[in-house]
Amino acid sequence: MFADRAEIYIRSGKGGDGSVSFRRELFVAAGGPNGGDGGKGGDIIFEVDDGLNTLSDYRFIRKHCAEDGQNGGTNHCTGRNGADKILKVPEGTVIREKESGKVITDMSHGNRREVILKGGRGGKGNQHYATATMQVPKYAQPGQDAQELNVILELKVIADVGLIGFPNVGKSTFLSRVTNAKPKIANYHFTTLNPNLGVVDMEDGNGFVIADIPGLIEGASEGIGLGHEFLRHVERTRVMIHIVDVASTEGRDPVEDIRTINAELAAYNEALAKKPQIIAANKTDVMLPEEAEEAVSRLQEAFDIPVYSISAVSGKGVKELLYAVSGLLQETKDETVVFEREFSLDTLTLPDEPFTVEYSEEEKLYIVEGPRIEKMLGYTNIDSEKGFEFFQNFLKNNGILDELEALGIQDGDTVRMYGLQFDYYK
């Protein structure tokens, strides 16, 4: 089954939570904190596999998750890191964020392996938060959340030359003659359902990679038939061989065929129609010599494009065509088509610091502690209007007010945060 587009869900592993624990040993009167750190979550990694030429596997398995990191343990034990999830794709696969359609990365031209989603870092155990003023920290850092995305995978074949034309004009036969590729050949439309790649070896050493792009039909740029899937593959080619059936064995006009295909290329992407082309007037072996000559002359008059008379079956004129293509490739600037990164992954998750919210029955007040709170109070001037507004937003945005309300706080109750003590009013 051919598939050059797939939609999948990917998720990295969550970081393991840090542990809250204390030494409890015989003859140790006041054991300190010994909570271990959580393990790192696994990454989502895309990797090029030269043995793949389709994305069909991703049509059936759409959810791919890395392993979560293990929580920290007692006695300074660090949790195990989660296993990475490696997703194998063919070279030329472009990965896009589904909602925006923006490019995350292009797995081509040397980009063989890339971490797309990083696993969450493991949280620090309470052993890291012991200070001179807080010798018994009852909090640890939670593991960082996993990153998740819905992505679109698109395969865009990498080849120097693309064979284009209507179905059943002889592209597969031509490819099998000039390369070591063995495409399926039969006398019905859409025999070729996936791009076939082959290498053309030239006597002068200027070989090139050629791809049989499956047959286009009118309306392909609008997604009719298999149009969009096939048009994607033309984007990376430098030169196109436009093969037409000059014998009109299926009753079509070769001149109209070329105009139709070029119109579809332009409708999909205007730059495609501007790529250098050579017309291969195929199936001249089933015509009388004078008829073949007249058909080729008609093509030359209709288009300002080099036209070569060939027979993919007998090989007549094929060598001359290949040398012309090789020469055109040398004249054509080698502009590597790489789809630039458009989507940033940096803002998917942000690191956090732990805090605790608890009620002291003895003191009859609520106590909020933790490095996040301590840092905030260190750089915020609560006495100023703007500083107090920032302080209120901090409590709200970090979920501290929600936790206080969950514990049953009422208007007028007292809250203590290190050196700050205030009455709560909603």
Residue 375 has pLDDT above 80, yes or no: no
Residue 311 has pLDDT above 80, yes or no: yes
Residue 350 has pLDDT above 70, yes or no: no
Answer yes or no: are the C-beta atoms of 170 and 183 closer than 8 Å.
no
Backbone angles phi, psi at 331, to 5 degrees: -80, -25
Give the three-state DSSP class for 41. Answer: coil
pLDDT of the residue at 75: 86
Answer yes or no: are the C-beta atoms of 337 and 275 closer than 8 Å.
no
The highest-confidence range among 192-196, 334-338, 348-352, 394-398, by mean pLDDT, is 394-398
pLDDT of the residue at 133: 67
Range in 37-46, 63-72, 319-328 the model is least confident about = 319-328
Beta-strand runs (E) in 79-212: 85-89, 93-97, 103-107, 113-117, 148-155, 161-164, 196-200, 208-212
Residue 419 has pLDDT above 90, yes or no: no
Closest by CA to 58, choosing from 154, 194, 195, is: 154
pLDDT of the residue at 226: 45
- What is the four-CA torsion angle of 272, 274, 278, 282, rounded to 10 degrees? 50
Q: Report the pLDDT averaged over residues 17-44.
A: 82
Residue 239 has pLDDT above 60, yes or no: yes
Range in 43-47, 191-195, 211-215 the model is least confident about = 191-195
pLDDT of the residue at 24: 74
pLDDT of the residue at 381: 67
More confident site: 389 or 295 = 295
Residue 188 has pLDDT above 50, yes or no: no
pLDDT of the residue at 189: 39
pLDDT of the residue at 1: 36
pLDDT of the residue at 27: 58
Q: Report the pLDDT averaged over residues 294-305.
A: 91
Q: What is the 3-state secondary structure (H, E, C) of 342-386?
A: CCCCCCCCCCCCCCEEEEECCCCEEEEECHHHHHHHHHCCCCCHH
- Portion of the chain with pLDDT greater than 70, in percent: 83
Count of H-run helices and E-run strands, the chain = 10, 18
More confident site: 350 or 367 = 367
Residue 145 has pLDDT above 60, yes or no: yes
Residue 186 has pLDDT above 50, yes or no: no
Closest by CA to 41, choosing from 22, 66, 72, 17, is: 66
Residue 221 has pLDDT above 50, yes or no: no
Q: Which residues pair with 365 in a beta bridge?
A: 360
Q: Can you give the length of the chain in residues?
A: 426
Residue 315 has pLDDT above 60, yes or no: yes
Q: How confident is the model at residue 304 (pLDDT cuts 50, 70, 90)?
A: confident
Strands 44-48 and 239-245: unpaired
Residue 3 has pLDDT above 60, yes or no: no
Residue 228 has pLDDT above 60, yes or no: no
Torsion sign over Cα 286, 320, 212, 197: positive
Closest by CA to 390, choosing from 401, 380, 404, 398, is: 380
Mean residue pLDDT of the chain comes to: 82
How far from 374 is each of 131, 208, 418, CA to CA, in Å? 12, 64, 7
Q: Report the pLDDT averaged over residues 42-67.
A: 90
More confident site: 264 or 294 = 294
pLDDT of the residue at 216: 54
